Structure 1
Amino acid sequence: MQLSRTLSLLLQCPVLPDRTCSGIRPCRTELSTHKATMPFPIRMLVLALLLCPLVSHAQTTVRLDGTPDVAEWIAARFAKGKQPPFSFVYNGIPSSEFLTRWQYEKEKIASPDPQTVRERHIYTDPATGLKVECDVTGFKDFHAVEWVLHFTNTSQTDTPILERNDVADLTFTNRTPGTFSLLSARGSVGSRADFMVSQRELPADSTIRLAPQGGRSSDCTAFPMFNLIAPNGRQGVMAAIGWSGGWQAALTGGTSAPIANRQAVRSGNVTAPGTRSALTLQTGMERFHLYLKPGERIRTPLVSLMFWNGDNLMTGQNKFRRFLLAHHSRQLDGKFAEYPYASGFALPGPEPCTENGCLTEEMAIAMARRHKQFNLVPEVFWLDAGWYTDSGAPVYDWCDCVGTWTPDTTRFPNGLRPLSDEAHRLGARFLLWFEPERVSRGSWLAREHQPWLLHTPRRNSALLDLGNPEALEWLCTHVGDMIEREGIDIYRQDFNHPPKPFWEDNEQPDRIGMTEIRHIEGLYTYWDYLLSRFPRLLIDNCAAGGRRIDLETLSRSAPLWRTDYPYGEVTGYQSHTYGLNFFLPQHGTGMWETDDYSTRSSLGAAVVATWDLSTRKLKVADIQRAIANFKKYRPYYYEDYYPLTGIIDTQSDSIWLAYQMHRPSDNSGIVVAFRRPEAVSDRITVRLSGIDPAAAYDVYNDNTGLTLRMDGRQLLDGLMLQIPQKRGSLLLHYTATTPETAR
């Protein structure tokens, strides 16, 4: 113990009083220059500590020199006696100091997919009965590994305090000297800057911290998917978090070096031979400090790491997009579910009408038939907020009367089944909006089931506590029965207030995070119940726009309305598409007008249109063309994405914005470009990606109707785009061809 205290003083590294020198953790402090004579064993131990990696302390180090074999990667890091790539503090002691001494078990979990490896690694404390289960899944086809933890108290007494749980706690190193960089995005707050992408370097000892606001996973300040890019720009790790509440991530830059060069690195020579760049990732729940009662079991966020190797960072982004479609999207008929072109019932009405507050059964059916009359039947008829009790006359307010989930019998005396029946008769599906978690004062839930609700003085409405088993059972049964009774094909769930204040104000001492955990577990249980009961049901995930996007929600749903940014302000829509496409292949927005600048601003994998078919403002032929173009180009958004005009400025009105969707499956693609209202130049030159330099391509100009034959090398070296007018757009459609098909 005296030896440990001596080293602690010399290195200024904290040592627990009851720990031996083997418990000392690496630190980056320098030795004092004070000359003193030390016994030889102490000098050797000091030297050993000097040789520790110069990186932020992490459980596991991963050499990032290619794409690993995932089975080997899992075996190397979760084997008995190894420090796994997660950490927590238990009874005030870091797990690195005890976890390898706990009882260890490993279970193989059968998987029907030969490309998937599944295992469970179990660590049990013989003293307190705490059991930690780590469920690990490896995806061989995408070089991806992900895991989630469960903590269980198997004893008859309360556990000591669990805290600081980093579900991922590991350091990546790369042979290339230099610094890692982080490509990340903002979340949604209903602004033009929603999903704006940035790339930042992480020099040694610098830390970037990511966390959303308010308890929704992609609210405002952070997006739970990001790319960790090695210094050479040709390798990296796509990290993603599956937790629909408050999460946090800390990313710290560093360097490491072999023994011979570590002193040089300490002296500032980060290019010394053998130096490896490094980046430490630590991520978990934002708020976690709790004990478990006897028999209690909780889950943590899911963490996913997908390794990539290629020409540039877009290799990783596009590989991740494909990974989401293959393994983290709703699956129907053996492939990812395609989300729709939808048309809504909501139209402006006279004051005081809001949203669908003045809609009636007769009006809705007449509007559906109007679509049929003009050959405009959508894939889905969309009924948003305002159909339920108290949302019609004399209140006309969809927002402040949620919590009574029955149709307004004054306006819909036969329920909503006549609307869904009419949609089905016309060959369309039917979508219905709910917001079950927010409960207004005076609603049925507020009157009848106060014990199911969480309150906070910071909000006028209440939160339906999905951690309450009775409330959760009622919600599953009530909404499930309604889906069946009313003929609903797509369930749309909104969430218009931040849950964090409710969780914070309803916690017990030393149970910080428990209310949130139970709510998020309940949300997943609810959605899984609906998807199991209705195998072909689709879920649209909305939370005041795209504020609850993460790996777990994407596995069950898609954000068809990605932002509550002002309706119809299409220049902002371009920015949202440009940013969100870096990560997601499936997301949607609105469409109101039929001019090319507007409709091209809304292109993507899904769209909801609101056509006013009661006036002469729009032409039927223009609407038909807009729908046809959306359906024609939608398949390209499922494959590879390339931004063509950088990420430094995507918001202003004085720029060009252009991107490319490339389809490797048939070597074709589209280029979509916008000259914004204040852009001075009428032309720019862009360089395409994914093109075969030896192939010839027919490039169709959707503006002029003309086709030009071009060599692949020309497209790669520089393609000039020209738009004569301000607030103009251009769409080019290219297809690979052969000399035999030349015109």
Structure 2
Amino acid sequence: MDLLSLIESYNFAVCINGVGVDNTSQGIALDRTEERTIDAGMKHSTATFHYVPASIVIESHQVRYTDTTLVERWVTIRNDGAEPVTIGRIDSFSLKLPTGEWKLMHYTSDWGTEFEPVVEPLAGESVLLETRFGRSSKGMHPWMSLFGQAGEVLTMSPMWSGNWQLRCEYNDGDGGYEVNGGLSDWEFSKTLAPGEAMESVHVAIASGSGGDLNSTSIAFARVGRKYWYPHNEFSRSMPMEWNHWWSYEDKAINEDVFRANADEAAKLGLDICTLDAGWFGPSEEASEWYEMRGDWAMVNEKRFPSGIRAVSDHVHGLGLKFGLWCEIEAVGKSAALSEKNPTYVARRDGESLGYLCFGNPEVRQWAFDMLDGLITGYNSQWIKLDFNLDPQAGCNCTDHGHGAGDGLFEHYNGYYRVLRDIREKHPEVILENCSSGGLRIDLGIMQKTHTTFLSDPDYPEHSLQAFWGATTMLAPDVCLHWSYSEWCGDNPFQQFKAADSSVKPHQFDYYTRIAMLRGFGISQKLPEMPEWMKARLAHHVDVYKSDVKPFVLEADLYRLTGQPGRGGTGDRWSAFQYSMPSGDADLVFVFRLPGGEASRAIRLQALDAEAVYELTWLSGDEQKVVEIAGSVLLKDGIIFDSLDVEDSALIRLKMLS
């Protein structure tokens, strides 16, 4: 079965003036098809249709990434008529599933429960996956995979940060399924004036085989690294971050605490210290800054009497970079900004939605100027961009530069433009995407930011579950999640305390190695850490820099075990293999979770069965070195029978022959 030919079809579905139109509708005429090579790895094909009854031009686009099985699909619509037309639905793609049994996998998501898997058969009923929260991964992640009975895999992901839909629509006539989707049509409409055009959201679709998600996730990661993700010299260095948030949440942070932790971070070999929320707001010890968001020129001088620039200068004096948190889209109820500029605020039926409408060009200019000032004024090399609310259907004001039905659509288009402009003005600054942890993770925002925060909680099994899920659509180098943090607030799952004498070295190694799977960060009270723990952390920092970082940055990632689950569910061993494109070097992480059996064989992938490999253990007190045939590693695997619960192994492989 040639799934790629299904993906590469020009099928689409739109709604024009209340009438459903697709490429087979009466009144549709195919005008032409065109293909052009963008570079050696990209071919852009376009089919142009005319919908004669409304004088509409519809272009169905696809970009084929020729070194992979991934295709990017979208649609543009242009009104060539003399009257306005209203677009009510605009699907980026449509395809007919081959007959047979199919299984659907997707992820639900909420705060602290990101990437919760759901697997169900397609069994004679239509299925709708969507979010209506206005954030791409609140409720559900913008991703699904379909598994055929012969091992076929289809993985698709809307590249959009707002509301989206993916549908598996059952046909009673032939018992088959049509799969389509893109932008959500819930509460959406866009009026196109004569001569006006719009572009749908893009959807990435990859085909795979063997019933193996690795066969599609590797395609997503390769294309992301080469074509989608922005990068600069700083982001390519994979900086190791300390962030104050969980250990000094909000009211516990001040400039003395931050400076003391920066001093320790420098000794440990970290690269950047990020000042999260708590720096901003009225000058009071117990400042309630949340309702003041938007007034970003306001610094809490009670906590930071020397100002933010002085703190930044101290960090730079240690040889480190400085990062800063900001929720640039949000506006608090008490912010002077909303009183001074009421048309900046996104509203629905007159009520504030708690954010600024980036569909308004004045808001975009204000946001650019504010971010530019935070970067320049505080000498920031990293901006953490948070968003802690649900826009739902979005703004329906008609004096912002958008219509009543497309406010959320134009908000995100406007936000993307601001991020692009900031990157152009400050090309060496890292922009981090965050939204209540991982509630706005998508391939649209990842074309505009350098890294994304996976989740607020970071206890081990949750962290492994989130990483397993995130890497079905993202490369590990654009994922950021901290090691097991010491929270100053209460959370039943966040029980790590550095001063707890019951924490054993192998457990601390386990917690830290989980963070080494991707972009590395920590949120700990560094001055209060026991000396043995600091020494272990410094060791892991060195190993990450010398051995791990190149693999996270460049290697293909294979999930060698099933997805671990919160609450003791899922696979209780977790293993990941990073395989360099050259084929001669690999890195393997192995973790034994609570509830994991005493012995486990971990079979590797993507090795040469005819070769011999040198395996070097980078975990443990001594570097054990053995030689094993590739055929054995593929068939029998590596037997792990001496790892304690909450223990881990890190192994480097080198092809010898």
TM tier, shorter chain?
0.7 to 0.9
Aligned in 2, Cα 1:518/1:147: closer, same or farther, shift over 3 Å? same
Q: Find 1:670's aligned residue among 570, 576, 587.
A: 587
2:535 and 2:604 map into 1 onto residues whose CA distance is 33
1:170: how far off? Answer: 1.6
Q: Structure 1 residue 634 and structure 2 residue 559: aligned?
A: no
Q: Find 1:88's aligned residue among 14, 37, 49.
A: 14
1:462: how far off? Answer: 1.7
Q: Structure 1 residue 290 and structure 2 residue 189: aligned?
A: yes
The answer to whether the 8 A contact 2:187-2:405 is kept is: yes
The answer to whether the 8 A contact 1:169-1:280 is kept is: yes
1:549-568 CA distance string (max 9 Å, x none): 11211112244421122xx5
Q: Structure 1 residue 726 and structure 2 residue 645: aligned?
A: yes
1:87-132 CA distance string (max 9 Å, x none): 1122343223657645846677773x23222355554556645444
Q: Residue type of the partner of 2:223?
A: F
Match of 1:201 in 2: 121
RMSD: 3.5
The answer to whether the 8 A contact 2:102-2:148 is kept is: yes
Q: Find 1:579's aligned residue among 466, 469, 486.
A: 469
Match of 1:230 in 2: 148
Bigger proportion of residues as strand = 2
1:613-632 CA distance string (max 9 Å, x none): 32253533122012123333
The answer to whether the 8 A contact 1:103-1:126 is kept is: no
Map residues 175-214 of structure 1 onto 2, 5 A cutoff. Answer: 178-191=100-113, 194-203=114-123, 205-214=124-133
1:653 and 1:703 map into 2 onto residues whose CA distance is 28
Identical columns (%): 20
Aligned in 2, Cα 1:146/1:378: closer, same or farther, shift over 3 Å? same
1:518: how far off? Answer: 1.2
Aligned in 2, Cα 1:381/1:310: closer, same or farther, shift over 3 Å? same
1:441: how far off? Answer: 1.3
Match of 2:502 in 1: none
Match of 1:274 in 2: none
Map residues 147-158 of structure 1 onto 2, 5 A cutoff. Answer: 147-155=73-81, 157-158=83-84
Match of 2:284 in 1: 393
1:65-98 CA distance string (max 9 Å, x none): 2656x9xx86xx4xxxxxx311112234322365
1:594-636 CA distance string (max 9 Å, x none): 7112112222221221342322535331220121233332333
The answer to whether the 8 A contact 1:356-1:387 is kept is: no
1:660: how far off? Answer: 2.3
- In the alignment, structure 2 segments of 5+ residues that lack a partner are 486-497, 499-504
1:318: how far off? Answer: 1.8
- In the alignment, structure 1 segments of 5+ residues that lack a partner are 1-63, 78-83, 257-265, 269-277, 739-743
The answer to whether the 8 A contact 1:357-1:396 is kept is: no
Map residues 494-509 of structure 1 onto 2, 5 A cutoff. Answer: 494-500=386-392, 502-503=394-395
Aligned in 2, Cα 1:730/1:522: closer, same or farther, shift over 3 Å? same
1:236-291 CA distance string (max 9 Å, x none): 333221111110111246799xxxxxxxxx7x9xxxxxxxxx65211022225535
Aligned in 2, Cα 1:641/1:425: closer, same or farther, shift over 3 Å? same
Match of 1:32 in 2: none
Match of 2:160 in 1: 243
1:99 and 1:301 map into 2 onto residues whose CA distance is 25
The answer to whether the 8 A contact 1:439-1:446 is kept is: yes
Q: Residue type of the partner of 2:611?
A: A
Match of 1:690 in 2: 606
Q: Find 2:381's aligned residue among 463, 469, 489.
A: 489
Aligned in 2, Cα 1:396/1:289: closer, same or farther, shift over 3 Å? closer
Q: Residue type of the partner of 1:494?
A: D
The answer to whether the 8 A contact 2:353-2:395 is kept is: no
Structure 1 length normalisation: TM-score?
Answer: 0.75
Q: Structure 1 residue 408 and structure 2 residue 307: aligned?
A: no
Match of 1:623 in 2: 537
Structure 2 length normalisation: TM-score?
Answer: 0.84
Q: Structure 1 residue 538 and structure 2 residue 538: aligned?
A: no
> Secondary structure at 2:645's aligned position in 1?
coil
Match of 1:5 in 2: none
> Secondary structure at 1:438's aligned position in 2?
coil
> Secondary structure at 2:141's aligned position in 1?
coil
The answer to whether the 8 A contact 2:609-2:631 is kept is: yes
Q: Residue type of the partner of 1:226?
A: M
Aligned in 2, Cα 1:561/1:530: closer, same or farther, shift over 3 Å? same
1:497: how far off? Answer: 0.6
1:678 and 1:310 map into 2 onto residues whose CA distance is 29
1:570-612 CA distance string (max 9 Å, x none): 2321222222223222311112467112112222221221342
Match of 1:59 in 2: none
1:436: how far off? Answer: 1.5
1:569: how far off? Answer: 2.1
Map residues 18-37 of structure 1 onto 2, 5 A cutoff. Answer: none
Further displaced range: 84-93 or 113-122: 113-122
1:16-51 CA distance string (max 9 Å, x none): xxxxxxxxxxxxxxxxxxxxxxxxxxxxxxxxxxxx
